[in-house]
Amino acid sequence: MTDIAPVPNPALPNPALPNPSAPGATRRFVRADGPDKVTGSGRYAADLQLSGMLHAKFRYADVAHGRITTLDTSAARAMPGVLSVLTHADVPDVRYSPGISDRTLFAKDVVRFEGEVVAAVAATTKEIAQAAVDAIVVEIEPLPVVNDAEEAMAADSPLVHTDWESYEADEAVVRSGNTVSFSSITHGDVEAGLSAADHVITSHHVADASHAAPIEPRAIVAQWEGQKVTVWTSSQVPFDARAGICQTLQLPTNRVRVIVPHLGGGFGGKCGFHFEAQIAALAKAAKRPVKLVFSRREEFLAPDRRREGMTVEITSGVKNDGSITARKARIVIDSGAYASDAAFFPQLAAMHVGGPYKVPNVEIEAHLMYTNHQPSGSVRAPTAPQACWALEAHTDQLADTLGIDPVQFRLQNCVTEGDTGIAGQVYGAIGLKECIEKAVAASDYGAELPDDEAVGVAVSWWPSFPGPSGAHVKIDDDGAGQIITGAQECGTGAVMTLRQLAADEVGLQPEDFEIIYQDTGVAPYDTGATGSQTLINNGRAVVRAARQIADELRKLAADHLEAAPGDIVLADGSAHVAGTPTKNVSIPELAGIAAGGELLAAHGSAPPLDYPTVAATCVGEQGVAGWVAPQFACHAVRVKVDAETGVARVMEISTAHDSGTILNLTGALGQVHGGVLMGIGQALTEVTRYSDEGLQMNAGMLEYKLQTAADAPPITTQFVEPGGEGAGPEGAKGLAEAPNVPTAAAIHNAITKVIGTPVNKLPMTAERIWEVQQ
Amino acid sequence: MTSYELNVNGTTYPIDAEPSRNLLSVIRDQVGLTGTKEGCDDCECGACMVLLDGQPVNSCSYLAAQAAEREVTTIEGIMTTEELAPIQQNMLDAGGVQCGFCTPGMIMSATALLARTPDPSEEEIKIGLSGNLCRCTGYAKIFDAIKETVVSL
Ligand code: FES
Ligand code: FES
């Protein structure tokens, strides 16, 4: 299995990295949290125990839509061992959620999806807590279930939120009735573009919902001391979790401390604010610490983080010369029962259905609709894999109509430096074209293959998200360094890479730094493990702080060595005078001097970056039409389809990514591999199925079907570093989400080549492939 | 309640537990070793993998009392010296660890695999790990770690 270009360039130390001076090219990556994780000594939230700790259980709605007519907790409250029972009546009557405040901690009168929390219990044992939850009398009068996002758009559809108008919401969110959020992108004159075309092609695509499915089910422990609460939680976004607790329980931020122990994966599923406030409220009422650990089934049903189902209709006009004249599209997205963080999804989906192509005339509208399903929210590159899958299936159809090779068609139409994108953004140096060339060259594209095999190709893009982020860096008296950061490590290695950035500034080794992280009580703000933003934002904060320390070290060394600070070089654990390595002093010695005077302690914050302007008219503007440091990718996938059963098997994947400068090659490859496998799952097996009553029918690992080790194909990865503007240190862009985007699309195109007809349904299960073949 | 002795990583623990308790909960809650993880409690993910007389077993789906009189090995018992075992070190060096939640189970399965098949083929590695779900790594680097361990043993 190779990770890198099969045709290595002997001139470079690592053929995956065109820029050999990039730190990631030469340095072995050592995870600071590695020993904890391979020895089993690392603590995750479910591993925590506190004296007097109680166990929490939730009572759920269990129906998709209804009005609560009876809610009687008296039997539960009377049970020995039960110390607190809470419902909506017991907590502040506050509605929350970013964008649209449509949610309450506990169901208020109406339940809108099966996993909605109606009541919570804390008891001395899990068994008693469960018995108490079962003893709560809940009677629900059924309301009509909105089981489909397209149906939710009908004029006569029942409303999921009858009082939607009364909710507080950002003014930029365009909403009405079941429409949570509407966005459109209009650029040029789409009708004129379509009339100028030689061919106008329309295609229709339906993607089902799926799940983030981290292997760690979430766990939360809350403990009050006086007026302050500490919450240990398996969150990707501790500061968001804190904000949610503060808003719903009406507390100032300095009375809530959120700590994330080791986090067992997230993939977006643990972004947002989930259940921390219910557990904190239970702990307050019981006057004891309380712990919640989710079962796998709860992990599937209750969080407001499902990957959204989507239908897409795309019409494009093309000319016989292979150019695209116009694109029109309509996207309908299933938001589920609440908005979660999804208000920006329509605009983001519109960007992905438009795609990284030169299309002068564009009109794309996207509707995010309430239904009575589990809420959708940011799962790894929200909206993108589905939207890309639809667009790239459509793109192959365009090439096919014109009789042009689909790779050539993409090379002809993809955006390159100086081109204008679908929303009117003009791009700098970007590497999409090179990604296509490299990924395709390293694949079996164009080679003679058996009849049941083919290579499909897809391209994709994804933004980088600049945001506020802070870190402290210090070196103590023995020369040992610490990075104290608000950033959150969810496994990607992004936080782990920070110590390499700090070490490079001060002339120490990464191993000389320890990282204190994911604790809102000690570190400045960071957005969290979301939007692939850690390294680009917190990385800049750490570099800024470490540079101040480096300046201090240079001054101290200059004094000590009787030289000018500007002549001091920090390297290999010591400071020396440039050109005279023998005139040196060790950094621990300088740290010892500093400890008796002005301390080596600094704070850094990521300076804001400007968002590019867009020329398109954007209704429902959510800030995701102009992209800072866009990332690009191309995947070429060889797939084998068994005609008898319809089973598709991925044989090999060739990937090429422009995610800017790669700072940590091991971590970067890990993101590509993990993202690709998640993409294969989404392409072939992962689906959340709903009954006619709006209930999930496969809320378990066995029925949901993640990809296993036995399914994992060989993956090759090439990183393209076009040298354009990055968003992060040394020209880095984000990376964690991008590899998940084009895989399903490329698999679709390979399957279509083998069977001759597009499946146009996601996932492309054996049954669906078989049906299309008939 | 039943009383029995459980041998975990060479240490004998007296246990008093409901007869229905599974081995995972006894290891975590009573023995007090939390390296073994619970990902599903339903034999679907492998995060709870331990060795029972050297054989890999999903401890969530095995009655604790049945493990009495047998040798249980958990992730905490993998190191025989102060140094990381080769499979542990190789998991780190290869990049086979991300969030780490699957890692203890993975290492237990890999250990069992290498004990019964000292020089496994790619296919044998894949089958040997097919009961351990990992959402982070795409498995590739875990395969590499095992191959590296074969070379170093
Ligand atoms: S917890 Fe035992 S297999 Fe998942
Ligand atoms: S490393 Fe996260 S599940 Fe395997």
Q: Does B63 touch chain A (CB under 8 A)?
A: no
And the tokens for A255?
A: 């009375």
CB of B150 closer than 6 angstroms to any ligand 1 atom: no
pLDDT at A536 over 70: yes
**Claim to verify: residue B10 and residue B73 sit in the same structural domain:** yes
**Confidence at residue A2, expressed as pLDDT on a 0 to 100 scale:** 35
pLDDT at A15 over 90: no
For A366-380, how does the pLDDT look when each residue is reduced to its tens digit (9 = 90+)?
999 999 999 999 999
Question: Residue of the nearest CA to atom 3 in ligand 1?
Answer: B43
Our CA-based measurement puts residue B52 at a distance from the nearest CA of chain A, in whole angstroms, of 18
Which helix (H) or strand (E) is B120 found in, with range?
A: none
**Average pLDDT score over chain A:** 95
Q: How far apart are CA A53 and CA A289, in angstroms?
A: 5
**Confidence at residue A16, expressed as pLDDT on a 0 to 100 scale:** 40
How many structural domains compose chain A? 3
CB contacts under 8 A, A 483-512 vs B, are 490-493
**Confidence at residue A9, expressed as pLDDT on a 0 to 100 scale:** 31
Q: How far apart are CA A33 and CA A195, in angstroms?
A: 59
**Claim to verify: residue B93 and residue B68 sit in the same structural domain:** no
Residue A8's pLDDT band (cuts 50, 70, 90):
very low
Q: Are A285 and A292 in contact (CB under 8 A)?
A: no
Instruction: Give me ligand 1 centre to Cα B132, in Å.
Output: 9
Q: Which residue of B44, B104, B132 is in closest CB contact with A40?
A: B104
Q: Any idea what the Cα angle at residue B102 is, between residues A653 and A257, rounded to 5°? A: 115
Among candidate residues A293, A318, A334, the one where a domain is terminated: A293
pLDDT at A3 over 50: no
pLDDT at A249 over 60: yes
Among candidate residues A235, A260, A293, the one where a domain is terminated: A293
Our CA-based measurement puts residue B13 at a distance from the nearest CA of chain A, in whole angstroms, of 19
What is the average per-residue pLDDT within A400-407?
98
Residue A27's pLDDT band (cuts 50, 70, 90):
low
For A688-731, how does the pLDDT look when each residue is reduced to its tens digit (9 = 90+)?
999 999 999 999 999 999 999 999 999 999 999 998 878 999 99
- The rounded radius of gyration (Å) of the Cα atoms in chain A is 27
What is the average per-residue pLDDT within A464-488?
97
How many structural domains compose chain B? 2
- The proportion of chain B whose per-residue pLDDT surpasses 90, expressed as a percent, equals 96
**Among candidate residues A727, A419, A46, the one with its CA nearest the CA of residue B101:** A46
For A53-63, how does the pLDDT look when each residue is reduced to its tens digit (9 = 90+)?
999 999 999 99
Q: Is A11 exposed, middle or buried (0-12, 13-18, 19+ CB in 10 A)?
A: exposed
In chain B, residues with a C-beta closer than 8 Å to the C-beta of A667 are 95
**Claim to verify: residue A534 and residue A626 sit in the same structural domain:** no
**Residue numbers of the domain that contains A542:** 467-605
- The rounded radius of gyration (Å) of the Cα atoms in chain B is 15
Among candidate residues A570, A585, A605, the one where a domain is terminated: A605
Q: Does A666 touch chain B (CB under 8 A)?
A: yes
Among candidate residues B41, B58, B77, the one where a domain is terminated: B77
**Claim to verify: residue B67 and residue B13 sit in the same structural domain:** yes
pLDDT at A26 over 80: no
**Confidence at residue A137, expressed as pLDDT on a 0 to 100 scale:** 98
**Side-chain-side CA neighbours of residue A471 (13 Å):** 37
Q: Does some domain include residue A659? A: yes
**Claim to verify: residue A483 and residue A337 sit in the same structural domain:** no
Q: Does some domain include residue A720? A: yes
CATH number for the domain spanning A63: value is: 3.90.1170.50
Our CA-based measurement puts residue B152 at a distance from the nearest CA of chain A, in whole angstroms, of 18
In chain B, residues with a C-beta closer than 8 Å to the C-beta of A492 are 98, 136
Q: A717 - beta bridge partners?
A: A655
What is the average per-residue pLDDT within B114-133?
97
Among candidate residues B77, B95, B113, the one where a domain is terminated: B77
CB of B134 closer than 6 angstroms to any ligand 2 atom: yes
Among candidate residues B77, B96, B124, the one where a domain is terminated: B77
**Claim to verify: residue A460 and residue A512 sit in the same structural domain:** no
Q: How far apart are CA A635 and CA A212, in angstroms?
A: 21
Residue B61 CA, closest ligand 1 atom number: 2
Q: What ipTM did this prediction achieve?
A: 0.98
For B72-104, how does the pLDDT look when each residue is reduced to its tens digit (9 = 90+)?
999 999 998 999 999 999 999 999 999 999 999
For A413-455, how does the pLDDT look when each residue is reduced to its tens digit (9 = 90+)?
999 999 999 999 999 999 999 999 999 999 999 999 999 999 9
**Claim to verify: residue B57 and residue B108 sit in the same structural domain:** no
pLDDT at A10 over 60: no
**Claim to verify: residue B55 and residue B30 sit in the same structural domain:** yes
**Confidence at residue A724, expressed as pLDDT on a 0 to 100 scale:** 80
Instruction: Give me ligand 1 centre to Cα B43, in Å.
Output: 5
CATH number for the domain spanning B44: value is: 3.10.20.30
pLDDT at A147 over 60: yes
Residue A486's pLDDT band (cuts 50, 70, 90):
very high
Answer whether A715 sits within 8 Å of B132, measured CB to CB.
no
For A605-659, how does the pLDDT look when each residue is reduced to its tens digit (9 = 90+)?
999 898 998 999 999 999 999 999 999 999 999 999 999 999 999 999 999 999 9
**Claim to verify: residue A599 and residue A711 sit in the same structural domain:** no
**Claim to verify: residue B144 and residue B99 sit in the same structural domain:** yes
For A205-223, how does the pLDDT look when each residue is reduced to its tens digit (9 = 90+)?
999 999 999 999 999 999 9
**Confidence at residue A83, expressed as pLDDT on a 0 to 100 scale:** 98
For A312-368, how does the pLDDT look when each residue is reduced to its tens digit (9 = 90+)?
999 999 999 999 999 999 999 999 999 999 999 999 999 999 999 999 999 999 999
- The proportion of chain A whose per-residue pLDDT surpasses 70, expressed as a percent, equals 96
**Residue numbers of the domain that contains B63:** 2-77
What is the average per-residue pLDDT within A92-118?
97
CATH number for the domain spanning B126: value is: 1.10.150.120
Residue A4's pLDDT band (cuts 50, 70, 90):
very low
B53 Rama class: left (phi>0) / alpha (psi -120 to 50) / beta: left
For A287-302, how does the pLDDT look when each residue is reduced to its tens digit (9 = 90+)?
999 999 999 999 999 9
What is the average per-residue pLDDT within B100-127?
97
Distances (CA, A) of B76 to A50, A262, B34, B40, B149: 22, 17, 9, 21, 19
